[in-house]
Amino acid sequence: MKRRDFVISMLSPVALAACGGGNSGTEAVATTPVTPNPATPNTAKTAAASALKRAAAYMDEKVSYRGGYVWSYSPDLTQTFGEMEAKRTMCWIQPPGTPSVGHVYLDSYHATGDERFYDAAVRTGLAVVQAQHPAGGWNYIYDFAGEESLKHWYDTIGKNGWRLEEFQHYYGNATFDDAGTAVASQLMLRLYLEKKDERFLVPLQKAIAFMVNAQFGPEFGIADGGWPQRFPHFPGSISQMPRPNPEQLPAGSKSGMDDGDYTLHVTFNDDVMGENIKFLTMCVVALGRTDLIPNIRRAMDCMQRMQWTSANGLQSGWGLQHLSRETGGRPAGSPAGARSYEPRALATHTTQTNIQQLFNYFQLTGDRKYLANIPKAIAWLKTCTLPSNAVQLNPLLSGRTHPTFVELETNDALYVHRYGSNIHNGAYYYNKDITNTPSHYSAGRQVNIAALETRYNELNAMSNEAVTAMVARSPLNVRAVAALPKYFSIREVDFSDLFTGAKMTTPNVPETEVNQLISDLGTKDYWTSPVAEIVNPYRGDGPTTPYTGTAYQSKHVGDVYDTSPYPADNPPEIAPYVKRDKPQFIVTSDFIRKMGRLIAFISPVA
């Protein structure tokens, strides 16, 4: 049979803020008022509203599966993809999946007052409710065909995605990774607030209970207030991917997953803690859930407390994850390894993100302790920049300032590599060789030290009077419930948008752009966009015979048995791979972006 490649959208997920809540059916709540179109019709806005409705109706009625969405679809809907190939019966919770689409429908309702958008938001919200784990959170994905169908996906497609380790094993629990639980929870909150629909109250209450129950307690000492990557803990979690063959490892190299089951560690990767704190803060604002403020403060204190400093005092920062308990003779709070291509190390991009979060926590509380150790972290970031010839040695480091990982104590950069052709004969390892790193996980990051220093100096110089005035407007000091921002899909809702008196404005969208969007929609009622990545169809487990070549070491994908997505225009340079044009697909993230532009044009917030 002729080989057929599949297509997958791997566009960056739409950044959405986290929220959640629910105490009882009687708590005070705040709603975002629906603003209908102006009484006097505007021809351009009327046309934009018509296009908005046609695009939403097509996605809701034709593209979705029971109200659920993945990341991209062939126009004939025969091929469907999330982060990997998906069954038609599956939906992706991980952004920009099902909850993300629900938010844009609700935003469309706020912009127009048209109940058709609200109906679509409810249908999508009910799909998210069905996907909710009994514990209250969400997994990356859900299969409406049932648990056995989902397990089959994990045992076939997921199992053979070499670089996608979070999909290689079925855990049967929920995750905080990639903001999936956070974005789903915020949709539950917004749908409940909109019309007090009781169908979303219990899921909302379960979501906030999940957040509270998953948080490490005081008995964990330094880890008190943090969150693991997954919850509830699954005793059968995989602690080690296929171990590298010592004979295939270069001298001085080590394998990853130094600290066992990484789903138990305190997680900073993908800003898990920042998203969860924002989730709870929105509950305080919109539901009056002041009982959650201690949970918020414990989480803030955990981040501040877990800033790790080396014995020689040179290093001070955070890793992707930190031990929640003593492990292998190392104390709780120590930076920990995660996936097999995430070694035990400090992470420069995570350190930058956590510094930015500590800025937020100072503004929310006025407590200067959140600023106290930031100079140490900035000073460390200045010591571990990439060498001046980094791009000459490794073109994948173009535009990067720092290595992703830095070895504890030595302050040497660590670089991840891999050998083999698939998950069954290959493995990841790391050493100090800057060359030939994988393209799917960047060996370098862009860290803006100047911006960090400027912001620190601004906040640190604030007078006590200015701090008092700032804190008086903090969402943690609300005396009455308040409405959340009107829109969630146009840009990320941040902490600053939750302060009393804040207004989250929309971008200016020119009429020429709107006319182009309407023209592109045409009579087919959907937009298509080029997608950069394709995947090999599942064909069984790959060979275990050792592969000693180098064709796959710096690529997104291995041999044809690897189900990982890879760039269509940059495949491995080995048969049967060939470069190909980017196919046109219905791309969920692009749908959300274009809908957001129309929304901002129809009903802007100035």
- The pLDDT value recorded for residue 412 is 98
- The pLDDT value recorded for residue 25 is 37
Residues in the chain: 606
Assign 317 to helix, strand or coil: strand
- The pLDDT value recorded for residue 236 is 83
Ramachandran class of 561: left when φ > 0, alpha when ψ lies in -120 to 50, beta otherwise: alpha
- The pLDDT value recorded for residue 241 is 76
- The pLDDT value recorded for residue 30 is 62
The CA-atom distances, in angstroms, between 427 and each of 243, 245, 249, 277, 416 are: 7, 8, 10, 36, 11
182 near 136, Cβ under 8 Å?
no
48 near 602, Cβ under 8 Å?
yes
- The pLDDT value recorded for residue 533 is 86
Task: Provide CB contacts within 8 A for 502, sequence distance 6+.
Answer: 473, 496
Written out in words, the top-level CATH class of the domain with range 6-20+30-602 is: mainly alpha
Sign of the Cα pseudo-torsion (469, 473, 476, 478, in order): positive
Both tokens of residue 131? 């996907």
Radius of gyration of the chain (CA): 24
The CA-atom distances, in angstroms, between 491 and each of 148, 190, 377, 487, 592 are: 37, 16, 29, 8, 11
Both tokens of residue 415? 């670089």
Assign 79 to helix, strand or coil: coil
437 near 417, Cβ under 8 Å?
yes
Nearest Cα to 584, choosing from 529, 520, 521? 529
597 near 517, Cβ under 8 Å?
yes
Residue whose pair of structure tokens reads 């302050």 in the numeric block: 411
Query: Residue 315 carries which side chain, given as an amino acid letter?
Result: Q
Segments making up each domain of the chain, as ranges: 6-20+30-602
Both tokens of residue 457? 């100096």
Read off the pTM.
0.93
87 near 66, Cβ under 8 Å?
no
Q: Is the peptide bond before 96 cis (omega within 30 degrees of 0)?
A: yes
- The pLDDT value recorded for residue 366 is 98
Sign of the Cα pseudo-torsion (347, 331, 237, 541, in order): positive
In angstroms, rounded to a whole number, what is the distance separating the alpha carbons of residues 451 and 462? 17
Positions in the chain whose pLDDT score sits under 70: 1-41
- The pLDDT value recorded for residue 11 is 32
